[in-house]
A and B are shown apart, each in its own frame.
Chain A
Amino acid sequence: MSYAETIDEAIVNCKHQTVFMQRCLSQNALMDALKHTSIMLTELRNPALSPKQYYELYILCFDSLSLLSNYLVESHPKKHHLADLYELVQYAGNILPRLYLMITVGSSYLQSPDAPREEILKDMIEMCRGVQNPIRGLFLRYYLSQRTKPFLDNGLVDKKFSISFIISNFVEMNKLWVRLQHQGPLKEREQRTRERKELQILIGANLVRLSQIVENDVQLYQAEVLPSVLEQVVQCRDVVSQEYLLDVICQVFPDEFHLVTLSSLLDTTLKLNPEVAINKVVLNLVERLNGYLERKDGSLDADITSKLSSLDITDNDKNLFFVFWSYLNQISEERPDVSVLEFSPLIQSIMRLTLQWYPGKIANIETLFKFLYDKCKDYGKALPQEWDNRFEDVFFSEAITSDPEFFYEVLTKCEFYQKLLALQSKTLQKVMINKILDYLLSHDVRISVKAELEKVLLICEPLTTHQPQTPAETQSDALQLTANTEPGLDDWLSHPDQEKLVKLVHLCYSKSIKRHADLLLCCKASFHKGGKNMRFTYSAIICTFWKLIRRAHLKSIKKPARAEKLRAFLKQMFKFISRCANELFNVCGASCVDMIYKLHLETASLADQLSLSEIAYDFFTQAFTIFEDSLSDSRTQFQGIVNMAQALQKTRSLYDDSYYDTLITRCTLHGSKLLRKQDQCRAVYLCSHLWWATEISLLGEEEGVTESFFREGKRVLECLQRSLRVADSIMDSVQSCHLMIEILNRCCYYFIHGEEQSTHVGTKYINGLIELITTNIDALKLEEPSSENDLEPSQALYFIGPDGTYLHLPSNNSVSIVTTKPPAITIAELISIPTQYFQRTLDYIHDQKDVDVRFKAINA
């Protein structure tokens, strides 16, 4: 009698034999039924089946044997005695069918109340040893387990006996399972591993059974079950098995058990095959313990506390974390082969655990970071770059980042967080600092304690001092406005790190102005280490001081009692600003003079608003010094003067001590000395406004009501005249003409603003100017010889801006092209610029006649 060649034949055969068996049973021909059964079981001897096929066959046989078993139970002891049958089936010559039959008969016999149950069980399990082939043995023992299940569960057998029965079956199955790995040629190892994983459930089922029997008897579990199971886990020394079994242990037994037996579980992990990822195992355990807490609604109730006390640690201060912590140290000692890298996920999981169990216990986190720090130190060399990813997870593990407040606490309270970070590769440090900054910023973490700020700054130190990476790295194709690669130094966009660093300043806040200022100074001290990077960082400090100054000022108004002190400190803050500006100037020099200049202007304006005229004056003066000494580019100079004029025009506190007079004169003078005539012209006519203060409605000023405006129409006219002279002297007649029209517009401004006796800009003057311009335009048209017919303007439009740039709005484009040089266009088109501008101005004057009768005197 032999087995079939293919699985299909085998299945057919099994089905046939089952039918025969049933027929025999219905005729009470037990012997024949047994014969068919054993023919069927012979199929299970086939060594060529894959685990899946074998399983399929096994299921068929199982069902078939169930039918037999039912018959046996029903007919006992009327037709036969199961004790006799138990011996009878022993005569089967082949072991595998013999044992299947034996188990079938034996388990049927177990149902009889007078059966010597324990004896039968012992005998069956002992006899199973005869099958040493892994797959056949596994299924046979699984069959034993399935058949005996009802008797072990229902208390028919002593609980301890049941447990030892299941455990010994488990041990044998596991051995077979491990042995399967070593079957067949070496090159099929991977396939073996795959097959083993397909079969793992057979072994795991034993542990499930155990958990069902143990129920909630912790003592039993701790004293009997777990030690035996773990012993097997350790002894088998097989990676797949150890990983799987520990996982199953974690899954199938109740949380409380794990809590109580934590030490032995952890001890076990130390004894595993070195190839086992301890991480994975511990991770499971931690997940389980954390899950326990969740299932218990997160509270450490009395129940758990008492369970905890059963851990073999006596000290009250010591707790679950302590157990894991000792464990870490133990691994570190006993398993020098476990690398820092492998520790990192472990640390992370323990971190998660401690935070779940002891929320907010920062000391635990610190301990873990210190541990890693020591490990990294011991490593001796620079940490390999490949580790970066892992460490990234450690520094930014979900456990510590889920709550911004807590993460902030970690950053500021854990000394070793920073120390560990400092041991990492430069690249990683930068990545991490960026992440940390992003995190702090996106969560709006508020820094209000100086010591904490210092910690954060210490962490960021590599960013403050380190020279930024090459800009190419920050470039992104998707971005139209990308980082500048060019001269580099000045470009903020190429330093996104610095941008984040700067934003740190805005996270600083204290209700106390003095303490807030302290925080800023602290930032300043740190940023100062950045050398040239200060050009990115310092202006934020200055700007924040502005805010602080205004805050101090408002507070001083609100709390007159403290006003004096506040004002004193407020002045002090202007000194801080000045100090910042000086440091910036000294270190960065030319690369940011323009910015320093403008910062001075704004600071001066601010001081002016607070009626600190001396300070305002001082800052304006310094701005002039910078202008004179360092602003060299002519366009920058022009804009600088205009900007200065704009600032000065809004000041109100400088009139005393003739500060204002000094400053505006100097400003206008600088304007008139600009290199390019057109700049001179524009600067001067714009400076005319310095003698014509306009209302600042926020201050309650009102045109026509307020009498105290600083206005000197004579000077206004002087400026306009001076500017017209310059315009007239410009050789480029288009430009000259255009500037005159600009001045005409300026005149209109003053004309609207006041009567001739105050502005000195009157109808006569304007009419004269219009006449002059008309003449010049006519002269311009002479320059263009082609007929006037061609003057019909093309679709394209050209303008000259108030800063002298040429704006070209092509017909096919929605955005103008702006150039400093005249575009390459026909003279006719060029001439049309002032011509049309003039026309628009005249139209405007014309329109004004309806509104303002005075305009009627103008010949337009």
Chain B
Amino acid sequence: MTFKILMFISLDKSIVTGATHHFKKTYQVNISPNMFFKSPLDIEIHFDGEDSRKVVEINNNNASSNAKSLKDQYPLYENGESLSGLVTLRVKEGKKVDHLGVKVNLIGSVDIAKSNSEYKKSTVDTFLCLSADLCPQGELMHSQTFQFSFKDVEKRYESYRGRNVDISYYVKVTVLRKSTDIVKIKKFWCYLYKTIPTSGPSGQNEDAKPVKLDIGIENCLHIEFEFSKSQYSIKDVIVGRIYFLLTRLKVKHMELSLITRETCGLEPNQLSDSTSIRYEIMDGSPVKGETIPIRLFLGGYDLVPNTSCNYFNIKNYLSLVIIDEDGRRYFKQTEIFLYRTRD
């Protein structure tokens, strides 16, 4: 079952959700020009077919106060896809701009905040940097448009915006000058699609096998936690059950959480957990022998596939939380692997 409109119905303050509204509308990308300098030249980047391209809406957690919206929207590209477009250099009326040449770069970078407290992230690795010259040294008298094209660009990582780490892709147009260069960047987003695991080799079978966890507190609680597999597409449904072998605990309710953990840096690791989903799956205290069904649709949430590179990794954990009548929480986490598939 698929559906086009997703809505999260939030019901309880205690449940923090990372869900967002998605609308299948194409928005005009609107990146505001740099207003701090009275730039003599406006650079405009336009990707080919941008109007019809899928966009991704990302939480703007830079928390920059001047951001108009909490969401940023970026056109979406995938690995190996070519990116082409037009760069328009618009000279202000009656002015002329001398330059040392105009070039365009396609850059992929890893940006990491130095510490948890510091917000500003800096690039630690530029794993992708393609370059092309648009125009040799000269003088711009009036507006001029250039074409650019990067063919079959390999994008190693998926775009990511986390607490301490970002992976960003952007096109950067630089008008080289003797004085300050005039630069314009335009971000785009990249998804890496995993091919849907095909049946066959043993590895695939491993994933398809149900995961069983036997957990408990001695003489107090003993449950079997079972779910269908360990690897899920991010639009998948987690199906499982919880079997109560022993319950002396007065359970108030039980939740399932999905936790995304971002690890980066060297020792000591900068860890950042964020709860992507909190989902109540049981109300009341079951007796021995009860089986509680689990069904969690992931599709409505913004989830991040597992990612890992030299500088950081992102992992996903499924966490079962039992809250007893006295408010104590008991939980068990287990890693699950999330990947992105083409819809």
A93→B283 contact, CB < 8 A = no
Given known pairs A129-B290, A129-B292, A130-B293, the reply for A94 and B284 (CB within 8 Å) is no
Name A1's contact: one of B11, B286, B293 (CB within 8 Å).
B11
Given known pairs A1-B12, A129-B293, A130-B293, the reply for A91 and B281 (CB within 8 Å) is no
**Residue of chain B at shortest CB distance from A127:** B293
Residue interface mask B281-318, A partner, CB < 8 A = 1 = 11111110011110101001000000000000000000
**Residue of chain A at shortest CB distance from B299:** A87
B3→A95 contact, CB < 8 A = no
A130→B283 contact, CB < 8 A = yes
Name B9's contact: one of A93, A95, A129 (CB within 8 Å).
A93
A413 CB–B CB distance under 8 Å: no
A91→B8 contact, CB < 8 A = yes
**Residue of chain B at shortest CB distance from A175:** B287
B10 CB–A CB distance under 8 Å: yes
A179 CB–B CB distance under 8 Å: yes
A133→B285 contact, CB < 8 A = yes
A88 CB–B CB distance under 8 Å: yes
B292→A132 contact, CB < 8 A = yes
Least CB distance from B223 to A in Å reads: 13
B283→A88 contact, CB < 8 A = no
B7→A91 contact, CB < 8 A = yes
Name A45's contact: one of B7, B251, B283, B291 (CB within 8 Å).
B283
Identify whether the interface residues of A are mostly helix, strand, loop, or mixed: helix
Closest 7 pairs between A and B when the two form their complex, measured CB to CB: A133-B284, A132-B284, A84-B3, A132-B286, A93-B15, A95-B280, A94-B11
A95→B283 contact, CB < 8 A = yes
B149 CB–A CB distance under 8 Å: no
Interface residues of A in 121-142 (CB under 8 A from B): 126-127, 129-134, 136-137
Least CB distance from A58 to B in Å reads: 15
CA separation between A93 and B8, bound complex, in Å? Answer: 8
Name A91's contact: one of B12, B287, B297 (CB within 8 Å).
B297
Q: Which of A31-39, A673-681, A825-833 lies on the face that meets chain B?
A: A31-39
Least CB distance from B16 to A in Å reads: 10
A136→B17 contact, CB < 8 A = no
Which residues of chain A come closer than 8 Å to B13, judged between CB atoms?
A: 1-2
**Residue of chain A at shortest CB distance from B8:** A91
Which residues of chain A come closer than 8 Å to B4, judged between CB atoms?
A: 84
B187 CB–A CB distance under 8 Å: no
Interface residues of B in 77-94 (CB under 8 A from A): none
Given known pairs A95-B282, A132-B282, A132-B286, the reply for A89 and B3 (CB within 8 Å) is no
**Residue of chain B at shortest CB distance from A83:** B1
**Residue of chain A at shortest CB distance from B282:** A130
Interface residues of A in 45-94 (CB under 8 A from B): 45, 81, 83-84, 86-94
Least CB distance from B126 to A in Å reads: 39
B293→A38 contact, CB < 8 A = no
**Residue of chain A at shortest CB distance from B1:** A87
CA separation between A21 and B68, bound complex, in Å? Answer: 32
Q: Which of B280, B290, B291, B300 has the most CB of A within 10 A?
A: B280
Which residues of chain A come closer than 8 Å to B3, judged between CB atoms?
A: 81, 84, 87-88
Least CB distance from A126 to B in Å reads: 5
Name B11's contact: one of A86, A97, A129, A179 (CB within 8 Å).
A97
A35→B284 contact, CB < 8 A = no
Identify whether the interface residues of B are mostly helix, strand, loop, or mixed: loop
CA separation between A81 and B281, bound complex, in Å? Answer: 25
Given known pairs A88-B7, A126-B293, A127-B293, the reply for A132 and B12 (CB within 8 Å) is no
CA separation between A84 and B5, bound complex, in Å? Answer: 9
A42 CB–B CB distance under 8 Å: yes
A780 CB–B CB distance under 8 Å: no
Which residues of chain B come closer than 8 Å to A34, judged between CB atoms?
A: 7, 9
25 contacts between A and B (CB under 8 A): A31-B7, A34-B7, A34-B9, A38-B11, A39-B11, A84-B4, A87-B3, A90-B295, A91-B7, A93-B9, A93-B17, A93-B279, A98-B280, A127-B293, A129-B291, A129-B293, A130-B292, A130-B293, A131-B284, A132-B251, A132-B283, A132-B287, A133-B283, A136-B283, A136-B284
Which residues of chain B come closer than 8 Å to A94, judged between CB atoms?
A: 11-12, 15, 280, 283
Interface residues of B in 1-41 (CB under 8 A from A): 1, 3-13, 15, 17, 19
Q: Which of A1, A38, A88, A131 has the most CB of B within 10 A?
A: A88
CA separation between A129 and B281, bound complex, in Å? Answer: 9
Residue interface mask B215-258, A partner, CB < 8 A = 1 = 00000000000000000000000000000000000010100000
Could you list which residues of chain A lie within 8 angstroms of chain B, going by C-beta atoms?
1-2, 31, 34-35, 38-39, 42, 45, 81, 83-84, 86-98, 126-127, 129-134, 136-137, 175, 179
Least CB distance from B205 to A in Å reads: 27
A89→B9 contact, CB < 8 A = yes
Which residues of chain B come closer than 8 Å to A39, judged between CB atoms?
A: 11
**Residue of chain B at shortest CB distance from A39:** B11
CA separation between A2 and B253, bound complex, in Å? Answer: 15
CA separation between A130 and B282, bound complex, in Å? Answer: 4
**Residue of chain B at shortest CB distance from A176:** B284
Q: How many residues of B contact A (CB 8 A)?
A: 34
Which residues of chain B come closer than 8 Å to A127, judged between CB atoms?
A: 293, 295
CA separation between A2 and B11, bound complex, in Å? Answer: 8
B278 CB–A CB distance under 8 Å: yes
Which residues of chain B come closer than 8 Å to A130, judged between CB atoms?
A: 281-283, 292-293
Interface residues of B in 183-212 (CB under 8 A from A): none
Which residues of chain A come closer than 8 Å to B284, judged between CB atoms?
A: 131-134, 136-137
With A87-B297, A129-B292 given, name 17 new contacts (CB 8 A): A1-B12, A1-B13, A2-B12, A34-B7, A42-B11, A93-B17, A94-B11, A94-B280, A94-B283, A129-B291, A129-B293, A131-B282, A132-B282, A132-B284, A133-B285, A137-B284, A175-B287
Which residues of chain A come closer than 8 Å to B283, judged between CB atoms?
A: 45, 94-96, 130-133, 136-137
Least CB distance from A237 to B in Å reads: 13
Which residues of chain A come closer than 8 Å to B300, judged between CB atoms?
A: 91
Which residues of chain A come closer than 8 Å to B8, judged between CB atoms?
A: 91, 93
CA separation between A34 and B7, bound complex, in Å? Answer: 10
Which residues of chain B come closer than 8 Å to A42, judged between CB atoms?
A: 11-12
Least CB distance from B283 to A in Å reads: 5
Least CB distance from B11 to A in Å reads: 5
Least CB distance from A32 to B in Å reads: 10
CA separation between A38 and B10, bound complex, in Å? Answer: 9
Which residues of chain A come closer than 8 Å to B9, judged between CB atoms?
A: 34-35, 38, 89, 91-93
Least CB distance from A377 to B in Å reads: 45
CA separation between A96 and B15, bound complex, in Å? Answer: 15
CA separation between A94 and B15, bound complex, in Å? Answer: 9
**Residue of chain B at shortest CB distance from A92:** B9
CA separation between A130 and B8, bound complex, in Å? Answer: 20
Which residues of chain B come closer than 8 Å to A134, judged between CB atoms?
A: 284
**Residue of chain B at shortest CB distance from A85:** B3
Q: Which of A92, A132, A134, A137 has the most CB of B within 10 A?
A: A132
Which residues of chain A come closer than 8 Å to B17, judged between CB atoms?
A: 93
Least CB distance from B241 to A in Å reads: 9
Least CB distance from B9 to A in Å reads: 5
**Residue of chain B at shortest CB distance from A101:** B9
CA separation between A694 and B32, bound complex, in Å? Answer: 154
CA separation between A721 and B10, bound complex, in Å? Answer: 132
Least CB distance from B258 to A in Å reads: 12
Which residues of chain B come closer than 8 Å to A86, judged between CB atoms?
A: 1
Interface residues of B in 246-281 (CB under 8 A from A): 251, 253, 278-281
Least CB distance from A535 to B in Å reads: 74
CA separation between A127 and B13, bound complex, in Å? Answer: 24
CA separation between A87 and B17, bound complex, in Å? Answer: 18
CA separation between A45 and B297, bound complex, in Å? Answer: 23
**Residue of chain A at shortest CB distance from B16:** A93
Least CB distance from B2 to A in Å reads: 8
Given known pairs A1-B11, A84-B3, A133-B285, the reply for A93 and B280 (CB within 8 Å) is yes
Q: Which of A95, A96, A131 has the most CB of B within 10 A?
A: A95
Which residues of chain A come closer than 8 Å to B293, judged between CB atoms?
A: 126-127, 129-130
**Residue of chain A at shortest CB distance from B15:** A93
